[in-house]
Chains A and B, each alone.
Chain A
Amino acid sequence: MALLEIKNLTIEFDTPGGVVHAVNDLSYSIEAGETLGIVGESGSGKSVHILGMLGLLPCPPGRIVSGEAWFDGNNLMALSDRELREIRGGQIGMVFQDPMSSLNPVLTVGRQLKEVLQRHTTLKGDALKARMVELLDIVGIPHPEARLSQYPHEFSGGMRQRVMIAIGMSCNPRLLIADEATTALDVTVQAQILDLVRKLKEDFGTTVIWITHDMGVVAELADTIQVMYGGRIMERGPVRPVFHDPRSAYTWGLLNSLPDEGARTQRRLYQIPGSPPDMANPPAGDPFAPRNPFATERCHREVPVLRDVGDVPGHKVAAWYDLPALLAAEKEKTR
């Protein structure tokens, strides 16, 4: 059974410029133990749907129009605020983007770690202290005992993100959600954090949702990749087929805009034409159609549904066109 199943989630924002359709009829599920990488550009709804699901979205201006989110037999959308608070931090841990501002600057790190543990476990006294030290130790912070009484400004960015991960993992959550958790870190620190998460996943079997706009991070960490655009899933499937045999023009564009490692051919990097859609006036059909060089007439008229493609099970795409065929034809023409 899936650990988390989102069904037909639609989220809108009421703004002076009209209703912004941030998330449109989103459905997907994630199995226990799986690592799902969600990729997409700003405004693709990748963070918003998570915040909405956990009741963290400011309403107003946000509005959850419809949808269900089944987590471990409970529909998160139907839970009261109090019940949802029990789940947040306990069964679902979160790590946010900016480690510089995610920790309260005037409280010690120990005090912030203690708060989660006291909130969701029955640990007290020495056992509580021991668990705090253990957690900092697990995420690779040296001298954990001394570090507990320090303030966030005494930690470097990478160390702070480790603290955030310790807080997220503190109550052995079933699901850990990282929202752009490595975006604000430099590349070497990013690699360390990814190593850490991979190790935690192996040791504790935590299910992870990793939200990012960095394809490289997803390739390294995820089992399944889900590409989002305009509040919809464009393509989804196991990492290997999605990377090697993309079926959505958007995924194809993203992959082609990355420099090849050790490339011998000096090709120009691909640039996706146009700019992100105005979700207050979304395109009628496929949201990516206006920027898609392969768009057919049907793309502009009708919203495509996710359909199975390729020969790897679980690989799905929302597109009316057949990308490999179109690419082959293109190649034929230029020859």
Chain B
Amino acid sequence: MKHFFKDLTSSKAGLFGAVLLVIIVALALLAPMLHLPDPTRGDLRARLAGPTWDGLFSPGAHPLGTDEVGRDILSRLIFGSRMTLMVACTAVVLGGIVGTILGILAGYKGGFVDKLLMRLVDIQLAIPLMLLALLIVAALGPSIQNVVLVLALTSWIRYARIIRAQVLSLREREFVQSAHAIGASTLRIMFLHILPNVMTPALVVGTLELARIIIMDAALSFLGLGVQPPTPSWGRMLADGRVYLSSAWWAVTFPGLAIVLTVLSVNLFGDWLRDYFDPKTRSAK
């Protein structure tokens, strides 16, 4: 753990990503305690008010301006991040679990199971993911559960492919044979001996997937298939503010910036994490 922080502080990009990520997550977690204006209550007298820093701590202040029905953008951003992060994290974990299990199964069992699973992956890769997501959400109806389900569905294939490749080389290692020699069953070997060995790549794919899923979630919301109003979401804010782009730039700029910063921080942190866990780049330092 000590080494973890030492290595992190020596990487500027990684540290930047980590700090940014911690701030974003902290804001999302602490949102109800920050005395922000209600993100769902509009004030038609203050429609599309520009960002103002006057009287920052007074109740009626809108430091990042308001949207077309007079809702405070800062408050909507912070409350929107709760939804975005929750949806993205759940989808990443769900996709990660399914993808890792199927990847180990395909890699270790080989033969028919492997062929079946990998053809499934190929088929899914051939369909544009956005189209698949749109079809499913449109068919099942837009709800948080469905969005999570769809995002996880677009995500498992990436884990499955990478984990399978890892397992293909791991299963030839001698420790697998010695596990057989002590009488361990196939299931035991797959999940008690091989799984701990692929946790690192799975974790790294997870961070990269998190960034991708945040964007995908925003895209779904933008198209009106994500979280439904009045619950704030970043994609939705972009979609609604787009109309006023020429007159009220703040309505789209800040949600866009929030997405960029979140994805950037996750990517930077993920890159560093990959290097940290890779023994080759680690020993080179």
Contacts and interface: CB of A to CB of B under 8 A. Distances in A.
Interface of A: 54, 56, 85-90, 93-94, 96-98, 101-107, 115-116, 119-120, 164, 167
Interface string B31-63: 000000000000000000000000000000000
19 contacts: A85-B183, A88-B180, A89-B182, A89-B184, A90-B183, A93-B181, A94-B181, A96-B174, A96-B177, A96-B181, A97-B174, A102-B174, A103-B175, A104-B179, A104-B193, A105-B197, A106-B199, A119-B184, A167-B178
Nearest to A84: B183
Given A104-B193, A107-B193, A107-B196, A164 B178 contact: yes
A101 B173 contact: yes
A85 B199 CA distance: 27
A102 B178 contact: yes
A25 B92 CA distance: 55
B197 A88 contact: no
B185 interface: yes
Residue among B177, B178, B180 with the most chain A CB within 10 A?
Answer: B178
Interface of B: 173-175, 177-185, 192-193, 196-197, 199
A106 to B, nearest CB: 4
A164 B181 CA distance: 11
B235 to A, nearest CB: 39
Contacts of A120: 183
Given A104-B179, A104-B196, A106-B196, A85 B184 contact: yes
Contacts of B180: 56, 88
A98 B174 contact: yes
A107 B177 CA distance: 15
Nearest first, the 5 A-B pairs at minimum CB distance are A89-B182, A89-B183, A94-B181, A85-B183, A88-B183
Nearest to B179: A104
A54 B181 CA distance: 8
Contacts of B197: 104-106
Given A107-B193, A107-B196, A56 B177 contact: yes
Contact of A102 (B175, B196, B199): B175
Residue among B183, B184, B185, B199 with the most chain A CB within 10 A?
Answer: B183
Contact of B183 (A101, A103, A105, A119): A119
Q: Is the interface of B mostly helix, strand, loop or mixed?
A: helix
Nearest to B111: A60
Nearest to B192: A115
A279 B193 CA distance: 35
A19 B193 CA distance: 33
A318 B181 CA distance: 32
Contact of A85 (B174, B175, B185): B185
B178 A94 contact: yes
A56 B193 CA distance: 17
A119 B182 contact: yes
A102 B181 CA distance: 11
A96 B178 contact: yes
A94 B193 CA distance: 18
B175 A86 contact: no
A88 B196 contact: no
B28 to A, nearest CB: 32
A102 B183 CA distance: 15
Nearest to A97: B174
A164 B180 CA distance: 14
Nearest to A54: B181
B178 to A, nearest CB: 5
A105 B175 CA distance: 9
Contacts of A93: 181
A94 B180 CA distance: 10
Nearest to B181: A94
Contacts of B175: 101-105
A178 to B, nearest CB: 11
Nearest to A100: B174
Nearest to B173: A101
B277 to A, nearest CB: 11
Nearest to A164: B178
A87 B174 contact: no
Nearest to B186: A81
Given A104-B196, A106-B196, A106-B197, A115 B184 contact: yes
A116 B196 CA distance: 18
Given A88-B180, A88-B181, A115-B192, 18 more contacts: A86-B183, A89-B181, A89-B183, A89-B184, A94-B178, A96-B178, A98-B174, A101-B174, A103-B175, A103-B178, A104-B175, A104-B196, A106-B197, A115-B182, A116-B182, A116-B183, A119-B183, A164-B178
Nearest to B199: A106
B282 to A, nearest CB: 13
A88 B174 contact: no
